């Protein structure tokens, strides 16, 4: 579907689908949390959800265009949420790897981020996906306003590590595209749920050897087009249901 009067239409549609599905999975936080996608070469201009609109209602045409280098962005009726400006503006200004960024306080990722040890051991295939591929932020500093956003951006410098487990806060996932980033977000939450539920049994964990965990992570990184097909299927379901996400 194309829209003749709005730029970056397909990117907007993909983002809207990701918002809708995140709400359906109850990984949203009411009218809080944000997804963003860079639309210029240096990544400093990006699409983002409107200020405090529920994920389940967001449409492609609702996306804001935000310039991370323009402080006047915070003025006017279409200004983003201050924490959106702080966290996502900081990422797109200081972290070239973050073409797309998705921040949520989803239940299981946030439980993991609330543990004294927020590591995710490779106890199954989903957990192994993230073996040596995340960073833990141990220095939560309050709401994600501008200085906090800049600090978080400095933690995502290793191109291999695209998950930031934000201690006492939630999770930030980055990637090149909406499909890649949402797919990573989805499977990280699944992995965190498996680990948390395994801990709840009180039994010893069956942890994979490091070499097998790394092999599994590499194989999944190279698996052809799973992220694209995942998002395509979600959009197909929304389309069949008559959703207005792509309007």
Residues 6+ apart with CB under 8 A from 104: 22, 27, 28, 29, 33, 170, 171, 185
Higher pLDDT, residue 81 or 118: 118
* Residue 40, pLDDT score: 96
pLDDT, the chain, mean: 94
User: What is the domain class of 9-240 according to CATH?
Assistant: alpha beta
d(CA 102, CA 177): 11
Specify the pTM.
0.95
* Residue 85, pLDDT score: 85
- Out of 17-26, 138-147, 163-172, pick the least confident: 138-147
d(CA 135, CA 209): 20
Render pLDDT for 188-206 as a digit per residue (tens, 0 to 9): 999 999 999 999 999 999 9
* Residue 4, pLDDT score: 55
Query: What's the mean pLDDT in 25-38?
Result: 95
Q: Please give the structure tokens belonging to residue 198.
A: 């395994």
Element (H, E) at 73: none
**Sequence ranges of the domains in the chain:** 9-240
Dihedral sign (CA 183, 105, 90, 153): negative
DSSP SS3 for 20? helix
Query: What's the mean pLDDT in 12-25?
Result: 98
Tell me the pLDDT band of 141, cut-offs 50, 70 and 90. Answer: confident
Q: Does the pLDDT of residue 3 top 70, yes or no?
A: no
Burial label for 240, CB within 10 Å (0-12, 13-18, 19+), is: exposed
Render pLDDT for 48-102 as a digit per residue (tens, 0 to 9): 999 999 999 999 999 999 998 887 887 766 778 888 888 999 999 999 999 999 9
* Residue 2, pLDDT score: 55
């Amino acid at each position: 579907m194309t829209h003749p009067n709005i730029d970056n239409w397909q990117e907007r549609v993909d983002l809207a689908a990701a918002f809708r599905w995140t709400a359906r999975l109850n990984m949203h936080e009411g009218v809080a949390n944000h997804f963003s996608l860079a639309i210029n070469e240096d990544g400093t201009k990006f699409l983002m959800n409107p200020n405090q609109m529920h994920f389940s209602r967001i449409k492609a045409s609702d996306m804001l265009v935000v310039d991370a280098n323009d402080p006047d962005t915070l003025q006017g009726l279409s200004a983003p949420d201050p924490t959106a400006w702080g966290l996502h503006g900081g990422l797109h200004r200081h972290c070239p790897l973050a073409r797309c960024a998705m921040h949520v306080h989803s239940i299981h990722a946030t439980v993991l981020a609330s543990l004294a040890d927020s590591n995710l051991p490779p106890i199954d295939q989903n957990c192994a996906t993230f073996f040596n591929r995340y960073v833990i932020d141990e220095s939560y500093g309050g709401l994600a306003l501008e200085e906090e956003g800049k600090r978080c951006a400095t933690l995502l410098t290793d191109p291999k590590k695209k998950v930031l487990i934000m201690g006492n806060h939630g999770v930030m996932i980055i990637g090149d595209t909406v499909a890649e980033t949402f797919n990573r977000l989805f499977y990280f939450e699944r992995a965190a749920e498996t680990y948390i539920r395994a801990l709840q049994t009180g039994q010893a964990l069956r942890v994979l050897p490091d070499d097998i965990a790394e092999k599994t992570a590499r194989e999944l990184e190279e698996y052809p087009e799973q992220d694209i097909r995942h998002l395509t299927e979600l959009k197909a379901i929304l389309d069949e249901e008559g959703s207005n996400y792509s309007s």
